[in-house]
A and B are shown apart, each in its own frame.
Chain A
Amino acid sequence: MLQYFDPKQRRNPEVDYGTPAAQGSLVRLTIDGRTIEVPEGTSIMRAAMLASIKIPKLCATDSLEAFGSCRLCLVEIEGRRGLPSSCTTPVEQGLVVHTYNPRLALVRRNVMELYISDHPLDCLTCPANGNCELQDVAGEVGLRAVRYGFEGENHLAAEPDTSHPYFSFDASKCIVCSRCVRACEEVQGTFALTIDGRGFDSKVAAGQDESFLDSDCVSCGACVQACPTATLMEKTVIEQGQPEHSVITTCAYCGVGCAFKAELKGDQVVRMVPYKGGAANQGHSCVKGRFAFGYATHKERVTTPMIRDSIDAPWQTVSWDEAMTFAANRIRQIQQVYGSDSVGGITSSRCTNEETYLVQKLVRAAFGNNNVDTCARVCHSPTGYGLKATLGESAGTQAFESVEQADVIMVIGANPTDAHPVFASRLKRRLRAGAELIVADPRRIDLVSGPHVQARHHLKLLPGTNVALINALAHTIIDEGLQDQAFIEARCDLEAFARWRAFIMEPRNAPEALSAALGVSAESLRSAARLYAKAGNAAIYYGLGVTEHSQGSTMVMGIANLAMLTGNLGREGVGVNPLRGQNNVQGACDMGSFPHELPGYRHVSDQRVRQAFEASWGVQIGSEPGLRIPNMLDGAISGTYKGLYCQGEDIAQSDPNTHHVEAALRNLDCLIVQDIFLNETAKFAHVFFPGATFLEKDGTFTNAERRISPVRRVMQPLSGKADWEATMAFSNALGYPMNYQHPSEIMAEIASLTPTFSGVSYQRLDEEGSLQWPCNDAAPSGTPTMHVDQFVRGKGYFERTEFIATAEKVTRRFPFLLTTGRILSQYNVGAQTRRTANIGWHEQDLLEIHPQDAEDLGINELDAVQVASRAGETVLAARITDRVQPGVVYTTFHHPESGANVVTTDNSDWATNCPEYKVTAVHLKKVERPSDWQTEHLAFTETQVRLMTQPTKRALDETA
């Protein structure tokens, strides 16, 4: 007898079981003479497939609830009348099921014949040929003829919709199985598709019967994935044919870290298909990971090393060896003149763990200082600080699937549907199942109100008042006796709690006292606090709207306090969950990319830790912190910091106060940029190391749930070297030998030196798919949920969270507050997504402004608006919308020419120096022309592109 508890880990992701797994007590039945035990609630179709009995199907797939429309999966059940559909019929104790006999075969063949009577018979030239479920099922049921002919009314002449850049919709091939409609609803949660009409006139319609491009479709690809025919088909497959092999890898976009099958012909990626076995995404994807991979082979990729003496000189294309020698000599010359500490490096959250580890090792071992930092400095460094101080570890507490157990979800300063779309789909699914939602955000994000999702509370606070919010919520919880006293007494430092309690209960922290500063009514605050505290399971998800403030670290500690206060830590369904921006922010931080910490978040002053690295690396490591990115830039301007190795970051676009950043970069004697494109920072560089995309290298990424997932090479590095190989060559040129043969050897070194990674190896990643750290002897299978029995620091620590308002305040001169964010189609500085068809959804960054403010200023839609702060000014086109509140404006930073960061200031988080991107006081004025910076930027860009293309062209001429 076969017995299936049907745990997800034992499910073969390559098999479609027809309907989703169920959980329940075991039920025994017999299918085609085989006795099987499966959980109650399992469909007969799934039970059969678990026993390797495949029942023909078209409308069923295991990512969707059973629908029962295609009538192909009929079975016979002894003692019952008729032929029930196996997908919608649940198992019962003692059932005896037959999946095949002459009667069933005849019915199935007849049903299939009807389908095919209204389907083109162009299989040989159809793009789905070789991967078509309809064709497969026709074969399975033995269809040999279609007796009805094609003379009658049919849909064969339906016009295809080719409006979408990435896939086509060919209605002539549609069998109206509704899989696409249900995928849009159940998997993605957008409800953009519907079945329009009835009976014979039924058809799949996007939006209000619009084209796909004009509809509400968010281009996640779930419909394409679900389609069993060629109706919804990737254009790359139409153009290139079916892929012939695949490699499982991890997406290089956001911190969700979706697993994908890169499907290829030779070394050409035909399509990226979300991998059902991926624990982070479970077969779902978003428009970026699914479709926006074309940047990897974009014509603007720089694939040859380049050097030059000054940023006004033409680039010279050189060999890797020449570039390495040039860079190493420059760095050593600088150090001879200005001292060992006059150079440093920046690791990339877009590179692998192994690559960031190597860069920090190079800085510490070859440069001989701790001047290494990472882009987490400008996004989630307060998360590391705040969670370490309160809970003991610089990481989120849960796995993504924990949200499925949450009763109340509080989203603070995050926009998951745009920035973490695959997690957002999972979150929305939980909301549709009944969980309550609280959103705290100055702007009305999509999650506030959408199809079948409605936030109970939208706390539309003013930018810069997060700490006041979290204090008001905590005050209410204690004031109304809603705290989990037993949890506090068992798990937390009681002295610290007593001090914090006295502070939080001061009348100035009451909602009634803070309401005016927040711009949120006291009753809303109290009501939201009650909802969170009484939830049972309450989970907080937060993003850069929490961290990128002058009190970012305080707010993170406030969030941890709130979770401890209500006992919402240490089990599934609860927790403190930072949604990381870039794919490997967590990993870059884990790998010792901070100037004060070695891998595993251990301070450089810890002699025992230092000694372990010194023994392994064979060098002395400094016991003092190095420079953070803002400190490096300050040092560059003052003339003490002269050389920077910047891997995979674009600080000239992404960091605040562009004037300041550009001035610093211009002052460097040697700027080495390693990137796939000549990015904004590279325009100030003296050495360019051509980078490799995630498709061109092996390694690992660590996502927001501490999940370490494999990145696998599917094509050769266009430049000849993966990034880890370039870093290694640079280190060797500097005289510090590195000789890894494969990134697995780097991971082995990381595991040997980092207690939370000691159980991680490539072999285990290959076997298990992914691992969540800590993964060591104490947690051999990894750690989905942290702080289960006790906090990593021992007792949870309530840190005082004084609300100290930012110095960035509205004045008569700067009467508006600017806040910045991201949109769905673009990623970070846009270097990747702008070089794909995603650009069609976001051709420029827009300034969102409230209709009342626009009217007061005489601004119309798409008018040019000058946005000026004390740091600088830029000009953006206006988007008039009540998403933003009066007095607040919003923009994105995906296009360099927008100059969003020309306006943001040098204000930063008190503890970590994370910039205050989210609050900038600005003046707005309707204008007719770009800003001076924009004009200069355009000219500078043209010059730099010319300086790059000149030597390339010359080289080509010489070759000719």
Chain B
Amino acid sequence: MDQELTHLIKMANQIAAHCAPGEPSNVAADRAANHITRFWAPSMRLQIKAYLLADGVLLDDTAQDAVSRLG
């Protein structure tokens, strides 16, 4: 796995971790997905979505849910 993808996975997990506390899982995933949409370039979103489709095991549950909701 290249550094870029490693960083994207780490960032997605971080975002999910900070969006999750105190929220129902679907709300947390929505918040994380919204954050990623607002701040990540399309190329980054494409990579993380491709990773989820290919494997995704290093993404935490909320992060997986969030990435799956990306447009």
Contact = CB atoms under 8 A, between A and B. Distances in A.
B41 interface: yes
Interface residues of B, number: 19
Interface in B22-43: 22, 35, 38-43
A341 B3 contact: no
B7 A634 contact: yes
Which 5 pairs from chain A and chain B are nearest by CB?
A910-B14, A634-B4, A802-B21, A638-B4, A910-B18
Given A341-B43, A595-B41, A638-B2, A910 B7 contact: no
Contacts of A637: 2-4
A626 interface: yes
Interface of B: 2-4, 7, 11, 14-15, 17-18, 21-22, 35, 38-44
A624 B41 contact: yes
Nearest to B35: A911
A910 B44 contact: no
Interface of A: 341, 370-371, 499, 503, 550-551, 554, 595-596, 603, 605, 624-628, 630-631, 634-635, 637-638, 640, 660, 800, 802, 804, 906, 908, 910-913
A802 B20 CA distance: 9
A628 B40 CA distance: 8
B40 to A, nearest CB: 6
Given A503-B22, A627-B44, A804-B18, 18 more contacts: A341-B41, A370-B41, A503-B21, A624-B41, A625-B38, A625-B41, A628-B39, A631-B40, A631-B44, A638-B2, A638-B4, A660-B3, A908-B11, A910-B14, A910-B15, A910-B18, A911-B15, A913-B11
Q: Chain B interface mostly helix, strand, loop or mixed?
A: helix
A634 B35 contact: no
A550 B11 CA distance: 10
Contacts of A630: 7
A910 B38 contact: no
B3 A625 contact: no
Nearest to A369: B41
Contacts of B7: 630, 634, 906
B18 A596 contact: no
B4 A635 contact: yes
Contacts of A638: 2-4
B22 A603 contact: no
A596 B15 contact: no
Contact of A596 (B2, B14, B17, B39): B39
B43 A635 contact: yes
Contacts of A603: 38
Contacts of B43: 341, 627, 635, 640
Contacts of A341: 41, 43
Contacts of A628: 39
A755 to B, nearest CB: 21
Contact of B40 (A503, A625, A635): A625
12 contacts: A341-B43, A499-B22, A503-B21, A550-B14, A624-B41, A625-B39, A627-B43, A634-B4, A635-B4, A638-B4, A802-B18, A911-B39
A913 B43 CA distance: 17
A939 B7 CA distance: 31
Which of B14, B15, B21, B22 is the most central at the interface, judged by chain A CB atoms within 10 Å of its CB? B14
A800 B3 contact: no
A550 B18 CA distance: 10
Contact of B22 (A371, A596, A635, A800): A800
Nearest to A626: B41
Contacts of B3: 634, 637-638, 660
